């Protein structure tokens, strides 16, 4: 089985900067606590991921993680500017960017190529004195970069973050204008596509998003019921292992059987949420949650195939269009020197996102007779040979045999949250897109001073 253990909780932050953190759109994701994964369940999902359709294939049809899921699970902004722009592979460009934003730059030993080690950001964050807005904003930028390296765009090491995101944080007031949610979803899709390769040994990316998605869309997989008053949804399963210790030892064969036995009505809906716990700013983005467009994050291009999962949006499902071929854009990686502006390289895909309001779903299949039956006949003809997986070779749980379960705890007094599962209804707020020219984001050049071997400016210094 693939190793899928890269679920990291966000770094803690000083409550003094809460208002600044809310201003950036990263407040809710910063509230997510420790959520342990379940490697066997993730492996069972990976087996059903099809990289040509960017969907999971179950017996009852296709299903996928969508922008709606990112919004309610992580509380990230999903509408806005694309997370893209130039990447520079030189250490001098990295150094100049850090000097401009933090007044201090990491040594080469604090970097791994174009990746800055998270321990450098943690050390800088701990040293910042929160005595004015400038330093509070600097502190929040460090916190956001740590979120990128742990929750949103984590690599397999879980110890570093690519500096390509830093230029997008220059204008503190403009951070919230980016669609960080769509970038996070692009990274999850890319991780799922890579995990389907026979030579892949472990999976990285936003695994907290994937695990929580499985538990809200396929609630029979969840370890414990969720509290509908908790937002973001991911926190419904904070420390779930304290209540269901034996769940972590369920096997891949167990999850294969559950997914093979999936029946109509057990998928597609999302768990009940009290709408008043969801920020109005999050709900405002609901107008674009169903768009059928590319998902973009610098070199990463994936496809948001909502036309194949219409039932997740409460719409009638018909036979979808031919799956979208992303061509060479789907395999782009940042290995070796990649000094280019990805907004220009992917200009055709960027244009489709810019026109996203023209690609929202509508229920235009109501005039057809039995559209779902037609779809299911087509679907099982096309993919039926790969929908029953219980007969695959059994693989042992890498975590070993389960230890004796802990003694049962006495029942707690209070409300037990077992809510019916049905689709969320959000107020639709139509807005106009506000795009900007990505070419305005250019690498910085800065004059440097060298103090004890560490380049500094703006009053920061560090000595060994």
Contact 18, 27 (CB under 8 A): yes
**8-16: average pLDDT:** 89
d(CA 242, CA 33): 14
Provide the pLDDT for residue 221.
92
CA-closest candidate to residue 43, choices 84, 83, 3, 98 = 3
Q: What percent of the chain has pLDDT over 90?
A: 56
Contacts of 75 (CB under 8 A, 6+ apart): 27, 28, 29, 31, 231, 232, 279, 282
d(CA 219, CA 216): 5
Provide the pLDDT for residue 97.
97
The model's pLDDT over 230-265, given as tens digits with 9 standing for 90+, comes to: 889 899 888 887 888 888 889 999 999 999 998 887
Q: Which long-range contacts (CB under 8 A, 24 or more apart) does 424-429 make?
A: 424/68, 424/72, 424/270, 424/272, 424/273, 424/275, 426/275, 426/283, 426/286, 427/283, 427/286, 428/286, 428/287, 429/283, 429/284, 429/286, 429/287
385-420 CB burial, b ≥16 within 10 A, e <16: eebebeeeeeeebeeeeeeeeeeeeeeeeeeeeeee
Question: Does the pLDDT at position 395 exceed 60?
Answer: no
Provide the pLDDT for residue 339.
86
Residue 202 vs residue 47, higher pLDDT: 47
Question: Does the pLDDT at position 181 exceed 60?
Answer: yes
- What does the domain layout of the chain look like in residue ranges? 15-83+174-399+424-439
Question: Does the pLDDT at position 11 exceed 70?
Answer: yes
Q: 401 pLDDT band (50/70/90 cuts)?
A: very low
Pick from 79-93, 354-368, 414-428, 448-462: least confident: 414-428
Residue 123: exposed, middle, or buried by beta-carbon count in 10 A (0-12, 13-18, 19+)?
A: middle
d(CA 181, CA 419): 27
d(CA 379, CA 256): 20
Contact 287, 430 (CB under 8 A): yes
Q: 417 pLDDT band (50/70/90 cuts)?
A: very low
Q: 370 pLDDT band (50/70/90 cuts)?
A: low
Q: 460 pLDDT band (50/70/90 cuts)?
A: very low
d(CA 185, CA 73): 12
Residue 20 vs residue 409, higher pLDDT: 20
Question: Does the pLDDT at position 197 exceed 60?
Answer: yes
The model's pLDDT over 285-321, given as tens digits with 9 standing for 90+, comes to: 999 999 999 999 999 999 999 999 999 998 889 899 8
The model's pLDDT over 256-291, given as tens digits with 9 standing for 90+, comes to: 999 999 888 777 766 666 777 888 889 889 999 999
Question: Does the pLDDT at position 458 exceed 70?
Answer: no
Q: 463 pLDDT band (50/70/90 cuts)?
A: very low
Question: Does the pLDDT at position 367 exceed 90?
Answer: no
Question: Does the pLDDT at position 461 exceed 50?
Answer: no
Q: 227 pLDDT band (50/70/90 cuts)?
A: confident
Question: Does the pLDDT at position 446 exceed 70?
Answer: no
Provide the pLDDT for residue 5.
61
């Amino acid at each position: 089985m693939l190793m899928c253990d890269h679920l990291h909780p966000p770094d803690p932050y000083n409550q003094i900067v809460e208002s600044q953190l809310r201003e950036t759109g990263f407040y809710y994701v910063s509230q997510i606590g420790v959520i342990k994964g379940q490697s066997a369940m993730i492996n069972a999902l990976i087996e059903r991921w099809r990289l040509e359709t960017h969907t999971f294939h179950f017996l009852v049809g296709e299903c996928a993680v969508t922008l709606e899921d990112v919004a309610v699970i992580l509380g990230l902004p999903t509408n806005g500017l694309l997370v893209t722009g130039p990447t520079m592979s030189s250490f001098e460009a990295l150094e100049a960017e850090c000097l401009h934003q933090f007044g201090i730059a990491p040594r080469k030993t604090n970097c791994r190529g174009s990746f800055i080690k998270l321990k450098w950001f943690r050390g800088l964050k701990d040293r910042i004195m929160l005595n004015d807005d400038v330093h509070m904003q600097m502190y929040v930028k460090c916190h956001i970069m740590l979120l990128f390296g742990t929750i949103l765009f984590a690599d397999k090491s879980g110890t570093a973050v690519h500096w390509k995101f830093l230029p997008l944080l220059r204008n503190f007031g403009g951070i919230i204008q980016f669609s960080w949610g769509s970038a996070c979803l692009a990274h999850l899709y890319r991780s799922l596509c890579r995990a389907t390769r026979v030579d892949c040994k472990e999976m990285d990316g936003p695994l907290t998003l994937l695990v929580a998605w499985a538990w809200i869309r396929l609630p029979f997989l969840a370890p414990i019921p969720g509290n509908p008053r908790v937002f973001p949804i991911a926190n419904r399963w904070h420390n779930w292992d304290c209540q269901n210790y034996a769940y972590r030892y369920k096997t891949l064969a167990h999850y294969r059987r559950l997914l093979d036995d999936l029946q109509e009505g057990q998928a597609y809906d999302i768990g009940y949420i009290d709408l008043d716990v969801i920020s109005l700013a999050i709900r405002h983005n609901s107008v674009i949650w169903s768009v059928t467009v590319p998902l973009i994050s610098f070199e990463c291009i994936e496809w948001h195939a909502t036309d194949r999962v219409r039932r997740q949006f409460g719409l009638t499902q018909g036979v979808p269009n031919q799956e979208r071929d992303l061509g060479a854009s789907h395999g782009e990686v940042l290995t070796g020197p990649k000094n280019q502006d990805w907004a220009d390289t992917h200009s055709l895909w960027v244009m489709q996102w810019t026109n996203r309001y023209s690609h929202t779903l509508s229920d235009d299949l109501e005039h057809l007779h039995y559209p779902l039956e037609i779809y299911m006949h087509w679907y099982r003809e096309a993919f039926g040979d790969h929908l029953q997986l219980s007969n695959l070779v059994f693989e042992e749980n890498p975590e070993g045999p389960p230890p004796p379960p802990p003694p049962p705890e006495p029942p707690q007094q209070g409300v037990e949250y077992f809510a019916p599962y049905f689709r969320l209804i959000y107020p639709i707020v139509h807005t106009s897109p506000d795009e900007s020219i990505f070419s305005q984001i250019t690498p910085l050049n800065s004059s440097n001073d060298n103090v004890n071997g560490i380049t500094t400016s703006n009053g920061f210094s560090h000595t060994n």
